[in-house]
Amino acid sequence: MKHEGNALPPYLHMDNGELWLTEDDRDNLKISYRIKEVIFAEPSEYQHVMILDSYDFGRMLVLDGVVQTTSIDGHIYNEMISHVPLQFHPEAKRVLIIGGGDCGAARETAKYAHLEAIDMVEIDEKVVRACKEHLPAVSGNLSDPRVRFVYDDGVKFVQGKESVYDVIMIDSSDPVGPAEALFSPEFYANVHRALKADGLMVCQSQSPIFHLDILKRTYRNIRELFPHVLVYTAVVPTYPGGLWSFTIGSKRPLDFPVQTTIPNDTKYVNDGIFRQCFALPAFLRSALEVE
């Protein structure tokens, strides 16, 4: 296919007449995707935003050359960051999602009828608009009236808030650029303060294979604030290494429910996945010093 418009950004290149996206991870690993078509490509105030149609992964959201989510496996990440924590707080009414511009986590969270308000704070409005228009497999063109879109810096948004939310989901991109502050101890302290007395938070905590230092630091920072902390994993093929981690910090005991309330239209998460995702491999238990 042909790329229309100006010169290609450095992470898009032609090879024997085919368009390829090459993602550079830590200058040590390069992952290339054969691309059918550039659906959307525009710079925002914060980053370069693209929706690409790929051969193996379908449409994908790409920020500054890094794949964030795809049509073929985006549901895995979004279901895991939303349905898993909500099983531990069946009485939740107010949810805050920080990041998650692809709208996938908000879409999954909105499946719970008992939730009264879902605030989604995303710094880059262009990401949300691009995903709602061009990536419906992930966003579902979300239009639930309980979801309030706030285009603001999530770090600033939680500052000064106290006892407002039951559940806070931190759906951040990698800890570089605008997302770097979403991994800081100061930010987690503000999240802790913004939660009600029995509230809980969850964040994506990177690859246990390639980013173990970030996972360990995240786990340590959250343990300093919350009395109950659990790490769980899922396999997301798009992400480097495949294996991905999430960390829950909770003010309430993390008691496993006798019966889960996972919606029946999920593609990945079910009762069995929920109960086994907390079983960590030996190397990870050792690294986190889990007893």
Catalytic positions are 171
The answer to whether 276 is a known ligand-binding residue is no
Q: What is the identity of the amino acid at 234?
A: A
The answer to whether 172 is a known ligand-binding residue is yes
The answer to whether 171 is a known ligand-binding residue is yes
The answer to whether 255 is a known ligand-binding residue is no
Between strands 165-171 and 29-43, the pairing is unpaired
The answer to whether 32 is a known ligand-binding residue is no
The answer to whether 47 is a known ligand-binding residue is yes
The answer to whether 102 is a known ligand-binding residue is yes
The answer to whether 37 is a known ligand-binding residue is no
Extract the tokens encoding 172.
């951040």
Cite the annotated binding site by residue number.
47, 102, 122, 153-154, 171-174, 178
Cite the annotated binding site for spermidine by residue number.
102, 171-174
